[in-house]
Amino acid sequence: MRYTLLEGSKDALTLVARVLLMILFVVFGWSKLIGFSATAGYMASTGVPMPTISAAIAVIMEFFVGVAIVLGFYTRPLALLLGLYTLAAALIGHPFWNMDDPERTSAMINFYKNVSIAGGLLLLCLHGPGRYSLDGR
């Protein structure tokens, strides 16, 4: 009884949550797509293996999977996949345990931001996209 206040808005709020959760991925995925050579160059400068392939994976995961989740297309498996990608990005891209301040603080914030986003993606995977989605039709 005490949790029924938003029950009638559950599907609309799930849509809003999907969009808010994906804004970061779609915006930065788009910038990686339109600046693909710079993205691959940056990845090469950080020592990421196979930087061009890694950049392509980043674009696919962030932009294309992000858009699919906004639309609610294959939401559960893609949310799980994007959550795993986000955890991997945290471990590879933000190794704060190997850094000194001030870089350490920034990397730690980004690491835990990624971990938190992965938690939200896991919830989306478990909860599903709601009625306002291509999956919900």
CA distance 125 to 112: 20
Angle of helix 103-127 relative to helix 75-93, nearest 10 degrees, comes to: 170
More confident residue, 6 or 105: 105
Q: What is the mean pLDDT of residues 80-95?
A: 94
Query: What average pLDDT score do residues 17-38 get?
Result: 97
- Please check the confidence at residue 131 and state whether its pLDDT lies above 60: yes
Report pTM: 0.90
- Tell me the pLDDT tens digit for each residue of 58-78: 999 999 999 999 999 999 999
